[in-house]
Amino acid sequence: MDFSYSDEQQMLQDSVQKFVYSQYDFDTRRKIIKTDTGFSAEYWSLFAELGWLTVPFKEEDGGFGGSAVDLMVVMEEFGKGMVVEPFLATAVLGGGLISELGSAAQKEAMLSAVMEGSLQLATAYAEPDSRYNLASVGTSAKKDGASYVINGNKVLVLNGPAANKLLVVARTSGEKFDRDGISVFVVDASASGISKREYTAVDGHRAAEVQFNDVKVSADSLLGAEGKALTALERVIDRAALAVSAEAVGAMDCLLKKTVEYTKTRKQFGVAIGTFQALQHRMSEMFIECQLARSIVIMAAMKLDTTASDAEKAKAVAAAKARVGRAMRKVGQESVQLHGGIACTDELDVGHYFKRVTTIENLFGNTDYQLVRYASL
């Protein structure tokens, strides 16, 4: 049994940590999210240069190795800086689907561009009524000669505004909740018939609602076998769920640290408020939550890197996302409460961490969804 990082993982952590610490302070982030694109192109190039964009990919795809533990290492550090660059959307979600489903030619054409930082992706899978059920797909792709014609509405398309290509989950056969008949297409973001409503989310990340209105794509834009994409999609979404859970572990550590520091310096009634036992116990509880969250994320990352069955892996991710969800609610709320009014303002970073962990709760299956899923697996 060994919970320590390998030398390579240690170097990776040091490199991301150094970047966040020296180049991604709260003011820098604040400026970045207010720009037109909502991320820094310069930093994106830097991520590529430092090799971080290769982390989620297998060696045979030209990547760093694609281990879940590596991904956890990067995401935890991103969580500390609340990094908004579209790493998750491009490399984990979009890149993940191409890696899972793509032909050699499709991988060749796209994955190296992703790793070089020249191609950005977004995955259009969620729908207005699908909630977290990935099999609930109403968007249709109908065969028309050598093409497919896509119609439907997608929501919460992360990185939708900046993506060059969209990975669209659509139904090529079957009924709304059928596991069979779900396919993934790679569509140019500028294809005719696509309309987007772009927005900034509460956590500063960019996303879009995307409408597909008779969008015609060639048959070679199909990723993998027709109608057989759901299992791969589930694996990719689970990997994303693990990634944001690891990000949350980083963010929660910052919240705890900042809260402890604040209560040591904030004086009321002539003493630092951290001297009150009622508050000390609450911070101890936050610490416990942080430790349990970290532990279960490590468990799930390690499980994904084994040869366990898909069902076992899914169960591990469901457990992690559910438990981290509970921790995020508590640590987020308590950080704000113990800071008092100041953490209710836009000025202090604490509120922004709180918004990010709340967003994470709502992504890739919220706590209740994952609890029920865990129970059913």
Partner 1 sequence: MNADFTAEELKFQKEVQDFLKAEFPQDIKHKVDNGIRLEKDDFVRWQKILYKKGWVAPNWPVEYGGTGWTPTQKYIFAMEMGLYGAMEPVAFGVKMVAPVIYSYGNEEQKKRFLPDILASNVWWCQGYSEPNSGSDLASLKTTAVRDGDHYVVNGTKTWTTLGQYADWIFCLVRTDSTAKKQEGISFLLIDMKTPGIKVSPIYLLDDEPEVNEVHFDNVRVPVENLIGEENQGWTYAKVLLTHERTNIAQVPNSKLKLRKLRDLAANTPDGFGGSLLNNTVFARKLAEVEIQVLALEYAELRTLAAVSVGKAPGPESSILKVVGTEATQFIDELYMEVAAYHSLPHIPEQFAEGFDGDRVGKGSLANSSNVYFNNRKKSIYGGSNEIQKNIISKAVLGL
Site for partner 1, rule CB under 8 A? 126, 128-133, 136, 155-156, 177, 197, 199-203, 207, 209, 267-270, 273, 278-279, 329, 333, 336-337, 340-341, 343-347, 351, 354-355, 358-359, 362-363, 366, 368, 371-372
- Residue 183 dihedral angles phi and psi, to the nearest 5°: -130, 160
Q: Which is nearer to partner 1, 9 or 136 (CB)?
A: 136
Structure tokens at 289: 């939550």
Distances (CA, A) of 56 to 66, 153, 173, 247, 308: 4, 28, 31, 15, 19
Q: Which is nearer to partner 1, 196 or 294 (CB)?
A: 196
Smallest gap, in angstroms, from Cβ of residue 35 to partner 1?
16
Smallest gap, in angstroms, from Cβ of residue 158 to partner 1?
10
Q: Which is nearer to partner 1, 268 or 307 (CB)?
A: 268
Q: Which is nearer to partner 1, 61 or 238 (CB)?
A: 238
347 DSSP assignment: S
C-beta separation of 243 from 363 below 8 A: no
Secondary structure (DSSP) of 14-76: HHHHHHHHHH--HHHHHHHHHSSSSS-HHHHHHHHHTTGGGTTS-GGGTSS---HHHHHHHHH
Smallest gap, in angstroms, from Cβ of residue 298 to partner 1?
27
Distances (CA, A) of 322 to 94, 140, 287, 309, 374: 24, 31, 18, 20, 9
Q: How many angstroms separate the CA atoms of 320 and 330, rounded? A: 16
Structure tokens at 145: 């000669």
CA angle 232, 191, 127 (to 5 degrees): 45
Smallest gap, in angstroms, from Cβ of residue 247 to partner 1?
16
Q: Which is nearer to partner 1, 9 or 359 (CB)?
A: 359
Smallest gap, in angstroms, from Cβ of residue 363 to partner 1?
7
339 contact partners, CB below 8 Å, separation of at least 6: 258, 259, 262, 348, 350
188: number of Cβ within 10 Å: 14
Q: Which is nearer to partner 1, 71 or 126 (CB)?
A: 126
Smallest gap, in angstroms, from Cβ of residue 322 to partner 1?
11
Q: Which is nearer to partner 1, 72 or 233 (CB)?
A: 233
Smallest gap, in angstroms, from Cβ of residue 250 to partner 1?
20
Q: Which is nearer to partner 1, 54 or 335 (CB)?
A: 335
